[in-house]
Amino acid sequence: MPGDFTVLIMAAGHGTRMRSDLPKVLHPVCGKAMVEWVIDAARQAGAGDVICITRPGDGVAEGLPDSVTVAEQREGEGTGAAVLAAREAAPAEGAVLVLSGDHPLLSAELIGQVVDTHGREGAAATLLATEELDPAGYGRIMRAPDGSVERIVETKYTEGLGTEELATREVNLGTYAFEASDLWSALDEVSEERDEVYLTGVFPILRERGGRVVSHLTTDVSSAMGVNTRADLMEVDRLAVRRLLDDHAREGVTVLGPDSTRIEAGVTVGADTTIWPGVTLRGETSIGKGCEIGPQSTITDSTLSDGVKAVHSFLTEATVEPGASLGPFAYLRPGAHIGEGAKIGTFVEVKNSNIGAGTKVPHLSYLGDADVGANSNIGAGNITANYDGRRKHRTTIGDGVKTGVDTSFVAPVSVGDGAYTGAGSVIAEDVPDGALGIARPEQENVEGYAERKEQPPG
């Protein structure tokens, strides 16, 4: 029945165990909010309508894609109250899948398997289960003598259980398939426990009515885990990072240090790119083909074209054209645009500047609010003095320029094509094409100085 099912995502819990001001389902896992992972998996599995249950004013609804319907849980506590809040928005009949917003690793494959099992077994309800996790923190599945699911016992209620029941390793993973009409009528009858309405309370009711509740058992631990605590979040994040690295590897990316590398959700990397250890790629970053990234680079919201090298570099909102090389120890800040084949070397910082094709800035420089042409060479230790204390001004440097070491450019100022600057110059006036701009005090040598200094006094 792919495409025939409506998905409800429960995302209105308080997440108290996270000890956070941020709602639990908005905590990012490998750069993407937990609830978005679940929405994406549902879409990939072929969901029809996706309805997300949120709390009014918690900020979850605001970040959701437009394609998702929002149902507000205004009253009541617990997963049953959450699902009830979606009743108006959901269909009265047909297949309904209920997912938990705190199971970000849930895969489209597993959703598909639950849907298939549900259809094949003709069950009143089907839930996803595993025996591979520590049962503490989940609801344990208690089975009737006929092997069907009888009820779910939450960890906090296990005091009353016998040793055999306590030995149960099979737990509920918070993914359920229902026939909508059965779900709604059963939920009406679930009574409150400790001021909460539990969705799992529908199972005994469905059984009493002669329905069968079955579980779909999975061994896929990397898709099973839920998040209640920050410790869970750490573990789930680790698994998500690995899953994404595996996806990139399948697409032709070499990852040499998977345990120290993080490529967050949404980042694209071209084939034949090598990622060395200690690399983090985040946000809206795209890396071209045949690049060498790292070791030790952090790249956020940046676009790198094919064949770029970035060693020990830190980039935010930068654009780098093909074949350019960065680092070691380059710092590209927002608006840095590095031309084809250009080189930004060691301890060089570039902000809001265009560096032309083939231009080299090899050592110890700061270029801010600058436009540098093609094939120029910026000497070591060049600085743009772009800020006069009130406003920022631009520095323009032409094509084929060679600046001496330790040149300062007091913006606004421009240096023409093919011009030179003398080492140690403070360039505060424009330098015409082909000229040498030199602005430093002339050297004076004090003859015999050392000898006089070494004379004993008197």
Report the distance separating Cα 424 and Cα 403, nearest Å.
Answer: 10
To Ca ion, the closest distance from the beta carbon of 392 in angstroms equals 49
Q: Which does 376 bind (CB under 5 to 8 A by kind): Ca ion, ligand UD1, none?
A: none
To ligand UD1, the closest distance from the beta carbon of 117 in angstroms equals 18
Q: Which is nearer to ligand UD1, 18 or 263 (CB)?
A: 18
Q: Which does 114 bind (CB under 5 to 8 A by kind): Ca ion, ligand UD1, none?
A: none
Q: Binding to Ca ion by residue 226, rule CB under 5 A? A: yes
Q: Which does 97 bind (CB under 5 to 8 A by kind): Ca ion, ligand UD1, none?
A: none
Q: Which is nearer to Ca ion, 195 or 444 (CB)?
A: 195
Of the ranges 33-41, 99-107, 214-222, 309-317, which one interacts with Ca ion (CB under 5 A)?
99-107
Report phi then psi at 279, rounded to 5.
-105, 140
Of the ranges 51-59, 94-102, 246-254, 392-400, which one interacts with Ca ion (CB under 5 A)?
94-102
In the list 36, 58, 102, 399, the residue contacting Ca ion (rule: CB under 5 A) is 102
Q: Binding to Ca ion by residue 270, rule CB under 5 A? A: no
Per CB under 5 A, contacts with Ca ion among 45-84 are: none
To Ca ion, the closest distance from the beta carbon of 232 in angstroms equals 8
Residue ranges in contact with ligand UD1 by CB under 6 A: 10-13, 25, 53, 73, 77-79, 81-82, 100-102, 138-139, 152, 154, 171-174, 198-200, 226, 228
Q: Which does 107 bind (CB under 5 to 8 A by kind): Ca ion, ligand UD1, none?
A: none
Q: Which does 116 bind (CB under 5 to 8 A by kind): Ca ion, ligand UD1, none?
A: none
> Judging by DSSP bridges, how do beta strands 262-263 and 360-363 pair with one another?
unpaired
To ligand UD1, the closest distance from the beta carbon of 406 in angstroms equals 59
Catalytic (active-site) positions: 363
To ligand UD1, the closest distance from the beta carbon of 115 in angstroms equals 19
Of the ranges 45-53, 228-236, 332-340, 382-390, which one interacts with Ca ion (CB under 5 A)?
228-236
Q: Which is nearer to Ca ion, 85 or 245 (CB)?
A: 85
Q: Which is nearer to ligand UD1, 13 or 437 (CB)?
A: 13
Q: Which does 50 bind (CB under 5 to 8 A by kind): Ca ion, ligand UD1, none?
A: none
The first and second tokens of residue 28, run together, are 């990012």
Q: Which is nearer to Ca ion, 102 or 317 (CB)?
A: 102
* Contact residues for Ca ion, defined by CB under 5 A: 102, 226, 228
